[in-house]
Amino acid sequence: MLPDGGWRAGLPLAAWRAVTTLGAPLLPFWLAGRARRGKEDPARLRERRGEGAARPPGPLLWLHGASVGESQSALPLVEALARVRPDLHFLLTTGTRTAAQVLAERLPPGLAPRVQHRFVPLDVPAHAARFLDGWRPDAAVLIESEIWPNLIGAAAARGVPIALVNARLSARSARGWGRLPAVARRLFGAFALVAAQTEEDAARLRALGAADARAWGNLKFSARPLPAPEPELAAMRAAIGARPVLLAASTHPGEDAQVAKAHGRLRARLPGLLTVIAPRHPERGPALARELAEAGGIALRSAGEMPGPGTAIYLADTIGELGLHYRLAGAALIGGSLVPHGGQNPLEAARLGCPVLLGPHTQNFTAIADRMVEAGAALRVDGPEALAEAAGSVLTEPDRARSMTEAAARIAADAGALPERMAGAIEALLPASPHQGDGARPAA
């Protein structure tokens, strides 16, 4: 049951249930529009109504992460739980097609038979009920900031223990929830476990009703190194040869032009420079090719093109290939940090030995970004001129690049134990294994 929040919580939550119920007949049209734009899988729209359950026998843990980053965070946690509980099956839900594709590509083959993926149902009471009654999870884990009142309320009403892990809550979001304090207490108080990324996140969550919120760190820092198929890696290395490579990874609108300007400045110092731009949203590739045409020598990976001798800027507008590009680059700007987006995960590059450059906007990863800069594992840049200067120094000074990657590797290694710690806390929410107490443990 949800914690009692009195009528001050009950009325807004009842209003939300009414609005979502009344609006439900319009949602198929909205989903169809998203499907036409490629944002939904047309063959799987029924999952957004909570349909398609195929519950396996035995204990089942439901984990939900909205998009690529959150779902990737779930993988080391699932692996840790699978080692501890050999009888446990997993339902992973996401809200985006990209996240579903990345999960399919990165799920370890030995774990795949125990994992099913579905798209999360929309937060409509009937959809939530159909989903939960079909799957009957023994516990639920929401990742980061997925607070859906109808889903949470329906799970609590069915006695499903819910954890919120890798939780983050910005000051702006906390102020928003603070305008409905009774609702916040009722929703955040429903979690049996709250593990936040930072102490600031934990403090905001405690103030909103998650009394036992703890700061445990960020699961994104525990992820396995991003993969890169050897044939593609060998082909790219052959195409690039000895050219120095600057990567702009997961860029957002407003950053690509700055990277192109930095490329132009660097070409005088490094005539053979190849700049690779990997947009956060790959569908931007063709538009970027037109936008950056003046830079000359544009090639698109989505079109099957390889970087040739005349390629100045290579647009890596594909999904799930950052592991490939980090392995090829001599320095990487982490996207979302030159514009006020908040930055992407800098440890993805660090784990693959790629020196890291960060813009001024890293609030999504404040603690780790500041730690990397302080330890000499990353350099700050604030625009095209600073980016060209920093990238040039890293690309031409091997000793500096080596010291940065060594410092970054030490920071990345520190985050390795979090999935096991979190798995232990989540396991306590599940029914006891029939093998518990006999000393049996699966091989690691």
Residue 287 tokens, joined: 């538009």
Which residues are registered as beta bridge partners of 246? Answer: 275, 331
- Give CA angle at 387 (386, 392), nearest 5°: 100
Does residue 8 have a pLDDT over 90?
no
Closest C-alpha among 92, 96, 86, 134 to residue 115: 92
Class of domain 6-218+417-427: alpha beta
Question: Averaged over 180-207, what is the pLDDT?
Answer: 94
60-119 tens-digit pLDDT:
999 998 888 788 888 999 999 999 999 999 999 999 998 898 888 888 889 999 999 999
Q: In this structure, what is the dihedral angle of CA atoms 400, 402, 406, 411, given to the nearest 10 degrees?
A: 60
- Round the average pLDDT of the chain to a whole number and report it: 92
Quote the CA–CA distance of 357 and 334 in Å, as a whole number: 6
User: Does 397 qualify as catalytic in the annotation?
Assistant: no
Which residues are registered as beta bridge partners of 162? Answer: 140
Count of CB atoms situated within 10 Å of the CB of 277: 28
Tell me which H or E stretch contains 116.
strand 115-119
Among 40, 47, 70, 348, the active-site one is 70
What 3 state SS string does 124-178 have? CHHHHHHHHHHHCCCEEEEECCCCCHHHHHHHHHCCCCEEEEEECCCHHHHHHHH
Does residue 59 have a pLDDT over 90?
yes
Q: Is 117 helix (H, G, I), strand (E, B) or coil?
A: strand
Question: Averaged over 374-396, what is the pLDDT?
Answer: 97
Quote the CA–CA distance of 199 and 205 in Å, as a whole number: 10
Does residue 6 have a pLDDT over 80?
no
Q: What does the pLDDT read at residue 365? A: 86
Q: What does the pLDDT read at residue 222? A: 80
Closest C-alpha among 274, 400, 281 to residue 336: 281
% of the chain exceeding 90 in pLDDT: 79
136-166 tens-digit pLDDT:
999 999 999 889 999 999 999 999 999 999 9
Does residue 395 have a pLDDT over 90?
yes
279-303 tens-digit pLDDT:
999 999 999 999 999 888 999 999 9
Which pTM was predicted? 0.73
DSSP annotation of 298? E
Count of alpha carbons within 13 angstroms of residue 183, beta-carbon side: 17
Residues 6+ apart with CB under 8 A from 398: none
Does residue 426 have a pLDDT over 60?
yes
Does residue 310 have a pLDDT over 60?
yes
Q: How confident is the model at residue 441 (pLDDT cuts 50, 70, 90)?
A: very low
Q: Is 199 helix (H, G, I), strand (E, B) or coil?
A: helix
More confident residue, 351 or 6: 351
Q: How confident is the model at residue 9 (pLDDT cuts 50, 70, 90)?
A: low
Which residues are registered as beta bridge partners of 358? Answer: 380
17-49 tens-digit pLDDT:
999 999 999 999 999 999 999 999 999 999 999
Q: What does the pLDDT read at residue 220? A: 79
Q: What does the pLDDT read at residue 440? A: 39
- CATH homologous superfamily of 230-414 equals Glycogen Phosphorylase B; (3.40.50.2000)
Quote the CA–CA distance of 281 and 262 in Å, as a whole number: 21
Does residue 240 have a pLDDT over 50?
yes
| CATH 3.40.50.2000 domain extents, the chain | 230-414
Closest C-alpha among 334, 319, 329, 377 to residue 352: 329
Q: How confident is the model at residue 4 (pLDDT cuts 50, 70, 90)?
A: low
Count of CB atoms situated within 10 Å of the CB of 23: 12
Q: How confident is the model at residue 442 (pLDDT cuts 50, 70, 90)?
A: very low
Does residue 218 have a pLDDT over 70?
yes
Q: What does the pLDDT read at residue 7? A: 52
| CATH 3.40.50.11720 domain extents, the chain | 6-218+417-427
Q: In this structure, what is the dihedral angle of CA atoms 152, 156, 160, 162, given to the nearest 10 degrees?
A: 50
b/e sequence 90-125, b meaning 16+ C-beta within 10 Å: bbbbbbbbbbbebbeebbeeeeeebbbbbbbbbbbb
Does residue 200 have a pLDDT over 80?
yes
Closest C-alpha among 187, 207, 204 to residue 196: 204
Quote the CA–CA distance of 431 and 251 in Å, as a whole number: 43
DSSP annotation of 319? S
